[in-house]
Amino acid sequence: MKIIYWSGTGNTESMANLIGEGISSQGKTVELLNVEKVNIDNIKNEDILILGCPSMGNENLEEVDFEPFIESLQNLGNGKKACLFGSYGWGDGEWMRNWEDQMKNYGFELPLESVIVNESPEGDDATRCVKYGEDIANL
């Protein structure tokens, strides 16, 4: 399984690592990839896309690397699942709701509730991230 993410402050990367721990704990192999190092050919055969991006600016996805990558998935959604996660510092999660809608419009199934964390994943939030990874591994 591949976790593809973008992280500016390290919070979303920390979430990716915790989700990866959860996946690994279920006996699955996981690879963490910064979105800058991924091209569409790397993921065409993946049944589940695990994607992480923080809220940026006015509750948007990161616009230079991540949003163009997401837009490149427009014709890949049918028959695939997507699991989304990310961190935020303000707002109410609007960026995640918009992202979920975008992925559904691309034909992706979202089998699990997306995970968002305010700032850094610590305590219960860290536990939620690990559990999310376990749930992903068992889809």
pLDDT digits (tens, 9 = 90+) for 52-101: 999 998 889 999 999 999 999 999 988 899 999 999 998 889 999 999 99
Instruction: Give the single-character DSSP code of 4.
Output: E
Q: State pTM to two decimals.
A: 0.96
Q: Report the distance separating Cα 77 and Cα 138, nearest Å.
A: 20
Phi then psi for residue 32, to 5 deg, are -95, 130
Q: Directed axis angle between helix 124-137 and helix 11-25, to 10°?
A: 50
